[in-house]
Amino acid sequence: MTLDLEAPTRIAAVGSAGPLAIRPRRLRRTSALRALVRETRLHPAMLVAPLFVRPGSGVREPIASMPGVARLSPDVAAEEAARLAELGVGGVILFGLPEAKDALGTGASADDGIVQDTFRRIRSLELPLVTIADTCLCEYTDHGHCGPLAPDGSVDNDAALTRLAETAVSQARAGADVVAPSAMMDGQVAAIRAALDAEGFSHTAIMAYAAKHASAFYGPFREAADSAPAFGDRRGYQMDPANGREALREMALDVAEGADILLVKPALPSLDLVAAARARFDLPIAAYQVSGEFAMLAAAAERGWLDGRRAMLEAVTAIVRAGAGIVLTYAAGDIATWLRDEQ
């Protein structure tokens, strides 16, 4: 018997007497069928929740531009981490708002810094949760840029490498499982890897913000983290959103320097890069659904313009469908709750 391999794809012309050979709608007929054949599945363990940590005790300070998100004192942040762990969320990434700032961002690497204190509190709870540190200086410098400044006012790349390496070591010492350099300084992954290894933290992983564009979608974050530049912008070191091939080159450099995970930021405007990264590299691929992406969906939902739950799930599903195995999202707790409710 000879099989005709083309037969299953033959479809009778519209209006002809023959029946349709293929009816994709057969598998969309019921919710059970749709669930059975679903290609992309979300799981709470693939989600990372960003937490903004500020000084104080018992503080939960709402962020106006990010509905449902708040700045938390270290004790409340630890409680939130425990809640997220109970929901099955995979990890948290911490951003710190220090009591004081200076030109070098010394608070970022202080052993008693706001992020370091919070990590120790979270680690003491022994949660089944990956602890990730955003390794950058912009929240800690009085000028809001991601490294010390050169005399001409530009960011001194090599001086920034020293500070980023010191910060990563301090974060690892405080209990970070993963450090995530986001400053977009040339050579930052190599500098951090060398410093971690030299200080006995060879087990600490690096999630590189490998393709981080100078995006308009970061606006609410800068309010949340009090990290807007005092002058100029970050386009001299963050990437031009128009450049895709350059983004892949940045990823390849970070792989060569020792990155363990590659992160694309922002996520939805960069789905092509998420897919390209997944096709080209064997490392885990992460994507950050940034503050502006979250805020526009949350704001539209508040106004009744969108079904917030469906829109958020669709957006995050698209990020995973493109190839991300890890998604950083401010909706991590909500999504984990929704997924549990659907079981």
> Would you please indicate which residues are annotated as catalytic (active-site) residues?
212, 265
Enumerate helices (H) and strands (E) in the chain, giving the number of each: 11, 10
How many Cβ atoms are within 10 Å of 10's Cβ, its own excluded? 11
At residue 263, the 3 state secondary structure works out as strand
**162 burial class (0-12, 13-18, 19+ CB within 10 angstroms)?**
middle
- Would you state the torsion angle of the CA atoms of residues 253, 255, 259, 260, taken in this order, to the nearest 10 degrees? 160
Question: Residue for token digits 């009778």?
Answer: 12
Q: Helices 74-87 and 332-342 sit at what angle, rounded to 10 degrees?
A: 30
Return the H-helix or E-strand segment holding 87. Answer: helix 74-87
- Compute the radius of gyration of the chain from its Cα atoms: 22
Side chain identity, residue 324:
A
Residue 86: which of 130, 126, 128, 36 has the closest Cα? Answer: 128
Residues 6+ positions from 120 with CB-CB distance below 8 Å: 174, 175
**58 burial class (0-12, 13-18, 19+ CB within 10 angstroms)?**
exposed
Q: Do the strands 70-72 and 60-62 form a parallel or antiparallel pair, or are they unpaired?
A: antiparallel
Give yes or no for a cis peptide into 220 (omega within 30° of 0): no
How many Cβ atoms are within 10 Å of 158's Cβ, its own excluded? 13
How many Cβ atoms are within 10 Å of 61's Cβ, its own excluded? 14
User: Using an 8 Å Cβ cutoff, are 175 and 131 in contact?
Assistant: yes
The C-alpha atoms of residue 176 and residue 117 are separated, in whole angstroms, by: 11
